[in-house]
Structure 1
Amino acid sequence: MIYDIRHVTRFDYGAPVKFARCNLRLKPVEWPGQRLLDYRLAVAPTGHTAPAHAEAGLANVTRLVVDQPVQRLEIDSRAAVAVDRLVPMPAADDPTLADIARLARETRDLSPVSPAQYLYPSPRIPLDAAIAAWCAPDLDPARGALDAGIALAQRIQREFAFDSAATLVDTSPAEAFAQRRGVCQDFAQIMITGLRAAGLPAAYASGYIRTLPPPGEARLVGADATHAWVLLWSGPAQGWVGLDPTNGIWMAGDHIVVAVGRDYGEIAPVDGVVLGSGAQKMEVSVDVAPVDHPPALAGEEKARNNGSG
C-alpha cells in the first residue's frame, strides 16, 4: 500500500513573534515494512530549515529558524510512504517474556533501536505501582511475548474509554490510568509503564494510522490525526513488534512510523522556543490517503520565500 500523507500545523500568535527555533520530527523514518518514497516540507511565510541530529530516539529532525517577525506560521509536511507489513502471528515457540527480559539485559547494542534503550523509566513514563499491578496478570514471565503483548493491548482497548476531552498532552500515565479515559498517547504510555515494570523493552511509536470511513460515506480530508502506539522488542528473530492499545490491534499495513523514542517528549512532531508576548493558537490537520502511485511532491525540503538555511 502507498500512502499520500499531508500533515499541516498552523500557529496563530496574538502578537508578532520576533524569533522562533523549532525541531520538526515530521519526516517518516525508515522502518521494517515501510519505505519513504518522497518527502517535501514547506514553511510559510518565512523560515530557514536544515537537517539536525536526533538527540534521542530514532527520528528525522529538521531545525526550523524563523528570524523575521511573523504573526502566523504554517508548516506543511507531505510524504509518500510504501507500507508492506504483515500481521504478526503468535506461535508456540515464541520467546517467553522471561527470555525477552534476559536477552534485552544482555545486549551490547547501544544504537537508537537497541532494546537496552527502552528498559527503564523515562521522564514522561515513570514507574507506577498501580499500573504495574494492573498489567501484571497479562505479563506472566512464562508466557509467549507476542501472545502477552496483544492480550495486554486488547485489555486496555476494552477497559479504557477514548475521550479526547479527558486528558492533555502533559497528562501523566497515572492520571489517565486513574480515570480510565484518554487518547492514544495515554493508552500507549500506560502500556509501556506496565511492560517496563515487568523488565521488558518497550518504546513509544509516533506516526499515522489510516482511518476508514463507514460504508458508503466519503473519507473526510483532514479528519485523520497523529497516532501513538507501542513497540515491544520480542527477541533477535522478531525484533520490534508494534501493538496498538487504542484499537486493540497489531501494527500492520495501516500504520506508518514517523519516529520512535522512550516517550512523547523525545519525539514530539514540533517543539522548540518562541520569543513573543502574545497568546498562541495551534491547529493541526492530518490526511492519510491510500493511492495507486506515489504522488509528485516537488522534491526536496524547502522553506517558502527564504529557501533553506
Structure 2
Amino acid sequence: MKSAEYQIVHETSYRYSEPVALCQNQLRMRPRNHSHLVCHSCEVAITPTPTSLHQHTDYFGNVVDSFSIESLHQSLQVRVASRVTVSIPSDENLSGAPDWRELIGVIRRGEQPADWLASEYTFASRRIELTDMFADYARKVMQPHASVVDAVQALTVQINNDFRYDTQATDVNTSTEEAFIQKAGVCQDFAHIQIACLRSLGLAVRYVSGYLRTYPPPGKPRLVGCDESHAWIGVYAGEKIGWVDFDPTNAVRAGTDHIPMCLGRDYDDISPMRGIVMGGGKPILKVSVDVLPLDSSPTA
C-alpha cells in the first residue's frame, strides 16, 4: 500500500454587481472517508455568516453542507481547509484482478454483497447514456486484455490518445455524446466518456471528483493557489480488490497524487457547489485551490 498526506485549501469567491437578497447553496467539498482516503480534519468557513447551516450525508455517502444567507450582500466567500491521507493498492495487490468479461456476469448475478452494491453503478444516469457506440469503442480496445485492470488501463490510454484536451470545446452543459463525437473536452468530459464506455459493456463505474497534486517546473518555486479540481473514474474490480481509479485525462491509473473527495454516478451527483440567488446582477467568480504535500514523498 502506498500513501501520501496533504493539506488542501479550496477557496471560492463571488462578487456581485448588485446586492443579493437571498442565496441558498449546497457544498460537496468535504473529504469522505473510504478505502482510498482518510480525512483527519476539515473546516468550512462561509462569509457572510449564514442565516442557517445544516449538514447531512447524501445517498452516495458524500458530506453535504447546506446553507442560506437571508440578508443583503454583494460578495460570498467559501473556504474549505482539509487534511487527508491518500492510499492506493500496490501493483502486487492488483495481480489477481478478474477477467473483465467474467466480472460483468458476476456483477449481474450479484453473487456477493459487494457485487450487488456495485451494480447500481452499471446503469444509465442523468449524464450517462448506455449505447452501442460507446460499447463498440471500448470493446475494440479492451478485447486483447483479460484482466479488468489491464483492459481498463488500455482504454484509459486510448481515450487520452484519441481525445483532445480543450477548455473551449465544451462547457458544463455539453452532453457526453457531444464530447465523444467531437473528440474533445476537459477532465469532466473524459471521465463521462470512459464511464459511458464501460457501463455500456456492463461494468460498474463511478465518477470521482477531487484534486490532483501538481509539480512546478524545474527550478521554479511552487505557486500557492494554482492547483485545480479534477475528475476521474473508479472501476469495480471484484470483491477481493474493490474499486480501482483511472484518470483518462492523464492516461494513468490514479496514484497518491490523486486526492478523491466525492463519489457519484456522474458530475450532477457531486458538483462542488450549487445553488440559487435572488438578485446579484452579473457575478464574478474566482476559485483558488492549493494542494500542499505534508510528506516529502509517497511511502510504500
* TM-score, length of structure 2 as denominator length: 0.90
Question: Are the structure 2 counterparts of residues 166 and 175 from structure 1 closer, same or farther at C-alpha, using a change threshold of 3 Å?
Answer: same
Question: Are the structure 2 counterparts of residues 81 and 235 from structure 1 closer, same or farther at C-alpha, using a change threshold of 3 Å?
Answer: same
The aligned residue for residue 13 of structure 2 is 10
Tell me how far apart the structure 2 counterparts of residues 62 and 91 of structure 1 sit (CA, whole Å): 36
State the 1:65 CA deviation.
1.3
Identity %: 35
The aligned residue for residue 234 of structure 1 is 237
Q: Does 1:148 align with 2:179?
A: no
The aligned residue for residue 50 of structure 1 is 54
1:218-238 per-position Cα deviation (integer Å, ceiling 9, x unaligned) = 222111111000100010011
Gaps of 5+ in 2: none
The aligned residue for residue 100 of structure 1 is 103
Answer yes or no: is the 8 Å Cα contact 1:90–1:147 preserved in 2.
no
Answer yes or no: is the 8 Å Cα contact 1:28–1:259 preserved in 2.
yes
- Pick one of 245, 248, 257 that aligns with 2:251: 248
1:32-80 per-position Cα deviation (integer Å, ceiling 9, x unaligned) = 13211111100112213221231x4231111111111111100000001
The aligned residue for residue 32 of structure 2 is 29
Answer yes or no: is the 8 Å Cα contact 2:7–2:81 preserved in 1.
yes
Answer yes or no: is the 8 Å Cα contact 2:212–2:258 preserved in 1.
yes
Matching of residues 131-142 of structure 1 within 5 Å: 131-140=134-143
Q: Does 1:83 align with 2:86?
A: yes
State the 1:266 CA deviation.
0.6
What CA RMSD, in Å, does the superposition of the two structures yield over aligned residues?
Answer: 2.2
The aligned residue for residue 225 of structure 1 is 228
Aligned to 2:284, the other structure's residue is in SS state strand
Tell me how far apart the structure 1 counterparts of residues 94 and 248 of structure 2 sit (CA, whole Å): 21
Tell me how far apart the structure 2 counterparts of residues 65 and 206 of structure 1 sit (CA, whole Å): 24
Tell me how far apart the structure 1 counterparts of residues 93 and 141 of structure 2 sit (CA, whole Å): 15
Tell me how far apart the structure 1 counterparts of residues 270 and 144 of structure 2 sit (CA, whole Å): 30
* TM-score, length of structure 1 as denominator length: 0.88
State which drifts further: 215-224 or 236-245.
215-224
Tell me how far apart the structure 2 counterparts of residues 142 and 70 of structure 1 sit (CA, whole Å): 57
Corresponding letter in the other structure for 1:7: H
- Pick one of 164, 168, 171 that aligns with 2:171: 168
Tell me how far apart the structure 1 counterparts of residues 75 and 123 of structure 2 sit (CA, whole Å): 40
State the 1:141 CA deviation.
9.4
1:93-126 per-position Cα deviation (integer Å, ceiling 9, x unaligned) = 4211122212222238889x92122011100111
Aligned to 2:192, the other structure's residue is in SS state helix
Aligned to 2:28, the other structure's residue is in SS state strand
Tell me how far apart the structure 1 counterparts of residues 230 and 213 of structure 2 sit (CA, whole Å): 10
Tell me how far apart the structure 2 counterparts of residues 207 and 21 of structure 1 sit (CA, whole Å): 23
Count of residues in correspondence between the two structures: 291
Tell me how far apart the structure 2 counterparts of residues 249 and 87 of structure 1 sit (CA, whole Å): 14
Q: Does 1:290 align with 2:293?
A: yes
1:199-227 per-position Cα deviation (integer Å, ceiling 9, x unaligned) = 11110000111011222112221111110
Q: Does 1:65 align with 2:78?
A: no
Corresponding letter in the other structure for 1:19: L
State the 1:177 CA deviation.
1.4
More helix by share: 2
1:227-282 per-position Cα deviation (integer Å, ceiling 9, x unaligned) = 00010001001101000001111112111111100000011101122222622232
Aligned to 2:149, the other structure's residue is in SS state helix
Question: Are the structure 2 counterparts of residues 92 and 34 from structure 1 closer, same or farther at C-alpha, using a change threshold of 3 Å?
Answer: closer
Q: Does 1:124 align with 2:127?
A: yes
